[in-house]
Amino acid sequence: MVSAMTAPPTGARAGVPAPMPAAEADDAADATADAADSADADLIERSRTDPEAFAALFDRYSGMLYRYVSRRLGPEVAEDLVGETFLIAFSRRARYDLSYADARPWLFGIISKLVSRHHRSEAARYRALQRSPVDGHVEGPADRVAAGVTATASRPLLAEALAGLPRRDRDVLLLVAWGDLAYEEVAQALGIPVGTVRSRLNRARRKVRAVLGDTNPMNEEE
Amino acid sequence: MDDLGLLRDLGHDLEHEPPATLVRQRHRLAEAIAGRTGRHRGRGWILIGVAAAVTAALILVPTVLLRGGGKGAEDPLGRSTHRAGATKALNILVLGTDGRGDKFAPRSDTIVLLHLPRDNERISAVSIPRDLMVPLPSCKTRSGEATAARTGLINSAYTVGGLGCSVRAVEKLTDVRIDHAMSIDFTGFKRIVSGMGGVEVVVPRAMRDPKAGLNLSPGRQMIRGDQALAYARARQGLGDGSDLERIKRQQQLMAAMLKRAKEKQMLSPVRLPMFLNMMAGTMETYGQLSVPVMKEIARILERTETDTARFSTIPVRPHPDDPNRLALNEPTARKLLQTFRS
């Protein structure tokens, strides 16, 4: 079993940074004509003199952040947290380090702090998942169906593992697995050294595997 | 599949697509960008607005009846109000407005369509977002001129032409016949609480929010109008500071209010005329919300469990012409409102 983690994900996975509803994205494109392909850092820099430019970041990333939080806390809270995140980001735009072209780690860092305020309801959500199957689960592509039996059987176990993880470890694990951030980006998001990201991720994955019943030490990461 | 693969799969299953209402958060950001965050009317009022308006409708409507005086009720003109078994389902439009007696024209921040069924079914409440773009009918303004029919925000109907104009706009939008309408304003909420002699809440730990005028010590206690409003709206520095936490607090407060209202209604009908006088000026009604009509509403409410009212929001999508506005999602809205047309 070779680990999938030797190469950190790039973050540019299909569908992830998709802007929110299509109709709105089109409109936003009109409003911020040349914002479409500027780097995030350029937008933030411009927003320091022209605050309106900041709205383009919302169109770019609100959908991504919403999806991420909807996984961790459910749809009811996600909407408010996304709004909150952009208000905080806007008020801190002067302090953004413009040498980071990609603003995703920064936004994920802000939203991680907000998510942590809800750690009790997050744990409760995972515990509820242990007991009930996931709603509205649709058939995936053929390869997922093949693995479907294992995946379905593992779900309550995964939920149990997530509920039991210390908050800091869970943040790292989920920023990697659900937020598609690379190690360096997680480090930037949480303001911790990359080495700490690795050790927290390893510890979290070890616990997940233990709950899944796999104690093979060969799965250990460097 | 390794552990991360399984975890990603789980993530996909748990994920929700961004809803159309996310445009509100964009609007929130746009307001912050434009430096308009300071305005007093906030989202907090929208949340308690729905609850307060519906509570008001559910409490006050049957309460008003008792003005006729207990058994063998008569209306103030002395006519018998007894009508043989003529119960029918009713649709009532309830507006929560932000009028505070200042120079600004009041706006309807909260718009709820309430359906009181004929049989022992559940009450349905559908809230209509205030930033929904709709075809507005021609209405008479407060100064008597008629406005042209146009497309605009649903909540502007109230500002332009009052309760009557809102009724026609919502009827046009939903194709639902509205029997009665009422509106309640910001101070109405406080007066409901005061009129009931306060409500009982259990405060888990000291709550202090000087900005909101809140200062409560821990424990079970009665809180009155201003404190109740501050308690419902407070956000900073309480609980986990989140909206969810606040919504929970508001729901507890509403439950306490309903409980209190039931007690008061049964135990002390003598106090009710006073209560109604206090509410005067914060409420407005439309149509024939007369004593016989209220009697009928009370009969419906007696048979239904107000605790199990079904709350939903009318289906919307982002407006094609304006990212900060909403448009009605017609096919799904039509389906949702089916029960209102029975």
DSSP string, B80-97: B---SS----EEEEEEEE
Q: Is the CB of B15 less than 8 angstroms away from the CB of A67?
A: yes
**Model confidence band, residue B248 (pLDDT cutoffs 50, 70, 90):** low
Backbone angles phi, psi at B109, to 5 degrees: -75, -30
The beta-carbon neighbor of A79 closest among B9, B11, B19 is B19
The beta-carbon neighbor of A177 closest among B4, B19, B244 is B4
Q: What three-state secondary structure class fits B52?
A: helix
**Model confidence band, residue B47 (pLDDT cutoffs 50, 70, 90):** very low
Angle, alpha carbons B95-B96-B98 (nearest 5°): 130
The beta-carbon neighbor of A205 closest among B3, B17, B19 is B3
Contact B188, B223 (CB under 8 A): no
Question: Could you tell me which of B118, B117, B151, B126 has the C-alpha nearest to residue B321?
Answer: B151
| B59: in domain | yes
Q: Give CB contacts under 8 A, 24+ apart, made by A55-58.
A: A55/A28, A55/A31, A55/B26, A55/B29, A55/B30, A55/B33, A56/A28, A56/A32, A57/A86, A57/A89, A57/A103, A57/A107, A58/A86, A58/B25, A58/B26, A58/B29
Angle, alpha carbons A97-A100-A104 (nearest 5°): 105
The beta-carbon neighbor of B1 closest among A23, A28, A147 is A147
| B114: in domain | yes
Residues 4-33 (A) with a CB less than 8 A from some CB of B: 4-5, 20-21, 23-24, 27-28, 31
Residues 55-114 (A) with a CB less than 8 A from some CB of B: 55, 58-59, 62-63, 66-67, 70-71, 74-80, 82-83, 86-87, 90-91
**Model confidence band, residue A164 (pLDDT cutoffs 50, 70, 90):** very high
Q: List chain B residues with CB under 8 Å of A54.
A: 29, 33
Sign of the four-CA dihedral A164, A169, A173, A174: positive
| B155: in domain | yes
Q: For B20-29, how does the pLDDT look when each residue is reduced to its tens digit (9 = 90+)?
A: 888 888 888 8
Q: What confidence score (pLDDT) does residue B182 get? A: 77
In Å, how far is A98's CA from the nearest CA of chain B?
A: 20
Residues 173-192 (A) with a CB less than 8 A from some CB of B: 173-174, 176-178
How many domains is chain B built from?
1
Residue in B with minimal Cα distance to A201: B4
**Model confidence band, residue B186 (pLDDT cutoffs 50, 70, 90):** low
Range among A19-28, A35-44, B71-80 with highest mean pLDDT value = A35-44
Q: Give CB contacts under 8 A, 24+ apart, made by A116-119.
A: A116/A167, A116/A171, A117/B240, A117/B241, A117/B242, A118/A73, A118/A77, A118/B240, A118/B242, A118/B244, A119/A167
- Beta-bridged to residue B207, according to DSSP, are B216
Contact A57, A43 (CB under 8 A): yes
| A134: in domain | no
In Å, how far is A12's CA from the nearest CA of chain B?
A: 15
**Model confidence band, residue B41 (pLDDT cutoffs 50, 70, 90):** very low
pLDDT for B291 beyond 60: no
Q: What's the CATH number where A30 sits?
A: 1.10.1740.10
pLDDT for A22 beyond 90: no
More confident residue, A196 or B102: A196
In one letter, which amino acid is A198? R
| B253: in domain | yes
A49 Cβ contact list (under 8 Å, min separation 6):
none
Q: What is the DSSP letter of A50?
A: -
How many domains is chain A built from?
1
Terminal C-alpha separation, chain B: 53
| A75: in domain | yes
A54 interface with B at CB cutoff 8 Å: yes
Q: Is the CB of A83 less than 8 angstroms away from the CB of B13?
A: no
pLDDT for B42 beyond 50: no
Angle, alpha carbons B11-B16-B22 (nearest 5°): 135
Q: Is the CB of B26 less than 8 angstroms away from the CB of A54?
A: no
A208 interface with B at CB cutoff 8 Å: yes
**Model confidence band, residue B287 (pLDDT cutoffs 50, 70, 90):** low
Structure token digits, residue B216: 């409560």
Residue in B with minimal Cα distance to A138: B13
Q: What's the CATH number where B267 sits?
A: 3.40.630.190
Q: What confidence score (pLDDT) does residue A8 get? A: 40
Range among A20-24, B44-48, B59-63, B110-114 with highest mean pLDDT value = B110-114
Structure token digits, residue A60: 């770019």
Contact A177, B4 (CB under 8 A): yes
Exposure b/e, B48-84, CB count within 10 A at least 16 = b = bbbbbbbbbbbbbbbbbbbebeeeebebeeeeebeee
Residue in A with minimal Cα distance to B237: A117
| A139: in domain | no
| B14: in domain | no
Q: What confidence score (pLDDT) does residue B15 get? A: 92
The beta-carbon neighbor of A177 closest among B11, B240, B320 is B11
E strand residue ranges, B117-179: 124-127, 133-136, 150-153
**Model confidence band, residue A60 (pLDDT cutoffs 50, 70, 90):** very high
pLDDT for B95 beyond 70: yes
The beta-carbon neighbor of B14 closest among A1, A24, A71 is A71
In Å, how far is B26's CA from the nearest CA of chain A?
A: 7
Cβ neighbours around B126 below 10 Å, total:
22
- Beta-bridged to residue B313, according to DSSP, are B127
Q: Is the CB of A21 less than 8 angstroms away from the CB of B241?
A: no
Domain carrying residue A22:
15-117
| A150: in domain | no
Structure token digits, residue A200: 């927290």
Contact A219, A55 (CB under 8 A): no
Work out the percent of chain B whose per-residue pLDDT is above 70.
Answer: 54
In Å, how far is A167's CA from the nearest CA of chain B?
A: 16
Q: A–B: how many Cβ contacts below 8 A?
A: 143
pLDDT for A222 beyond 50: no
Find which of B12, B29, B36 to mutate to test the A interface (most A CBs within 10 Å of its CB): B29
Contact A51, B36 (CB under 8 A): no
Q: List chain B residues with CB under 8 Å of A55.
A: 26, 29-30, 33
| B200: in domain | yes
Q: List chain A residues with CB under 8 Å of B318.
A: 21, 23-24
Q: List chain A residues with CB under 8 Å of B131.
A: none
Contact A4, B5 (CB under 8 A): yes
ipTM field: 0.75
| Distance between CA atoms of residues B215 and A128, nearest Å | 36
pLDDT for B152 beyond 60: yes
| B44: in domain | yes
Contact B98, B41 (CB under 8 A): yes
Contact B287, B297 (CB under 8 A): no
A3 interface with B at CB cutoff 8 Å: yes
| Distance between CA atoms of residues B234 and B253, nearest Å | 13
Backbone angles phi, psi at A192, to 5 degrees: -130, 160
In Å, how far is A191's CA from the nearest CA of chain B?
A: 22
Domain carrying residue B329:
40-341
Q: What confidence score (pLDDT) does residue A38 get? A: 82
Q: Is the CB of B323 less than 8 angstroms away from the CB of A31?
A: yes
Q: Is the CB of A77 less than 8 angstroms away from the CB of B19?
A: no
In Å, how far is B301's CA from the nearest CA of chain A?
A: 30
| A148: in domain | no
Q: Is the CB of B323 less than 8 angstroms away from the CB of A176?
A: no
Q: List chain A residues with CB under 8 Å of B15.
A: 67, 70-71
| B274: in domain | yes
Q: List chain B residues with CB under 8 Å of A65.
A: none
Q: For B107-118, how does the pLDDT look when each residue is reduced to its tens digit (9 = 90+)?
A: 666 677 888 776
